[in-house]
Amino acid sequence: MGSYKYCICFTRKFRWNEARPPPDVESAFADFAEGGTSMTPDHLRRFLADRQQEGDLGAAEAERIVERVRQIRHRNPLGKLSRPLLSVEDFHHFLFSVELNPPLVSQVHQDMTAPLSHYYIYTGHNSYLTGNQLSSDCSDVPIIKALQRGVRVIELDMWPNSTKDNIDILHGRTLTSPVELIKCLKSIKEYAFTASPYPVVITLEDHLTPDLQVKVAQMVTETFGDMLYYPDSDDVEEFPSPEFLKKRIILSTKPPKEYLEAKSLKDQGGASINVKDQNDDEQWGKEVPDLKIKIESADKSEDEEEDDNDVDDDDPKLHQNVAPEYKRLITIRAGKPKGALKESLKVDPNRVRRLSLSEQQLVKAAASHGADLVRFTQKNMLRIYPKGTRFNSSNYNPLIGWMHGAQMVAFNMQGYGRSLWLMQGFYRANGGCGYVKKPDFLMQTGPHGEVFDPKASLPVKKTLKVKVYMGDGWRMDFSQTHFDAYSPPDFYTRVGIAGVPADSIMKKTKAIEDDWTPVWNEEFVFPLTVPELALLRIEVHEYDMSEKDDFGGQTCLPVSELRPGIRAVPLFDRKGVQFKSVKLLMRFEFV
Query: What are the counts of helices (DSSP H) followed by strands (DSSP E) for the chain?
Result: 19, 20
How many residues are given for the chain?
591
SS (H, E, C) 104-132: ECCCCCCCCCCCHHHEEECEECCCCECCC
Q: How far apart are CA 121 and CA 252, in angstroms?
A: 13
φ/ψ of residue 161, rounded to 5: -75, 180
The catalytic position among 43, 93, 171, 207 is: 171
Under a CB-based contact definition with an 8 Å cutoff, are residues 405 and 115 in contact? no
The H-or-E segment that residue 156 falls in is strand 153-160
Is 125 one of the catalytic residues?
yes
φ/ψ of residue 332, rounded to 5: -110, 100
φ/ψ of residue 280, rounded to 5: -60, -45
Q: State the angle between helix axes of 41-50 and 59-74 in degrees (0 to 180), rounded to the nearest 10.
A: 110
Under a CB-based contact definition with an 8 Å cutoff, are residues 347 and 379 in contact? yes
Is 207 one of the catalytic residues?
no
The catalytic position among 43, 92, 118, 125 is: 125
Partners of 332 in beta bridges: 252
Under a CB-based contact definition with an 8 Å cutoff, are residues 524 and 465 in contact? yes
Provide the greatest CA pair distance for the chain.
95
Q: Output the CA angle 263-267-272, nearest 5 degrees.
A: 55
- Given strand 505-508, what is the order of strands in its sheet? 505-508, 491-498, 535-542, 550-558, 565-572, 578-590, 462-472, 519-528
Q: Output the CA angle 421-132-434, nearest 5 degrees.
A: 35
Q: How far apart are CA 149 and CA 415, in angstroms?
A: 14
Give the active site residues.
125, 171
